[in-house]
Amino acid sequence: ELVLKVRIQTPTLRENDFIEIELDRQELTYQELLRVSCRELGVNPEHVQKIRKLPNTMLRKDKDVARLQDFQELELVLTVSDKNLLFRVPTLSEQSGYNKKASELTY
């Protein structure tokens, strides 16, 4: 697994911590990075304008993602400024730690 640090680019927030995400090294693609980052941060992928490798490099393609190393810091730059439109509530099955079999209890 490749471990990356990701956050949403929001210069107005006082606290803007990174979260760590894991990507399978066999699936290092731009789309997979976008999918996992958005799922973990609760962001709609349609609102992501670009992914920036800090401090100042835009990721554009699969080869850029393949060159990433453990614990590199990335930011999702969003297109919409209205916070209420950016974040979506993940479905129960998308949430970390969700156990589908445990949710299907029979009495």
Give the right CATH number for 2-78 from 3.30.420.310, 3.10.20.90, 3.30.465.10, 3.20.20.140: 3.10.20.90
Burial class of residue 29, CB neighbours in 10 A (0-12, 13-18, 19+): middle
Residues in the chain: 107
Give pLDDT tens digits along the chain (107 positions).
999 999 998 877 677 889 999 999 999 999 999 999 999 999 999 999 999 999 999 999 999 999 999 999 999 999 865 454 444 445 544 455 545 454 455 54
| CB distance 6 to 18 below 8 Å | yes
